Amino acid sequence: MIYWYRKLYTDDKVQPHTKKIQKKILSGKGKKKYYVILLSRQKENLLEVLKTDVAFYRFHKEEELYVIGLASTWEKAVQIIQEILVEGYGKNPDFQLKNSFSMSDFQPAGKNSDGR
């Protein structure tokens, strides 16, 4: 199951088409590949970046994936992660990424922001 961060981080190419891209990712029918930034499934890691290809689709059916960002390229995904970290440490020198996201900040894929 995929859970989308309510304040999803995106790059400039994805941002105007976020909802449409999310639907394509969920359906598995999109020809263009994107990169999702996830809260890591392994405790020793903070984040993961997965390309929306066969491996991603296998994972999202078997595990709960918490997506915080969506990018058009690997480089843009890395840039988004850098921005998250710079913003966090800029606000608080004791910033802890894992403590920055609450499960209530996510909504299950397929649900609108109003819960439908």
Strands (E), 2-115: 2-10, 35-39, 47-51, 65-71, 106-108
- pTM (2 decimals)? 0.85
Q: In this predicted structure, what is the pLDDT of residue 68? A: 96
Of the candidates 45, 48, 54, 2, the one whose C-alpha atom is nearest the C-alpha of residue 23 is 2
Q: In this predicted structure, what is the pLDDT of residue 116? A: 36
Q: In this predicted structure, what is the pLDDT of residue 8? A: 96
Q: What are the pLDDT tens digits along the chain (116 aa)?
A: 889 999 999 999 999 999 999 988 888 776 678 999 999 988 888 999 988 876 666 666 778 889 999 999 999 999 999 999 999 999 999 998 888 899 999 999 876 543 33
- Are 21 and 70 in contact, with CB atoms under 8 Å apart? yes
Q: In this predicted structure, what is the pLDDT of residue 25? A: 84
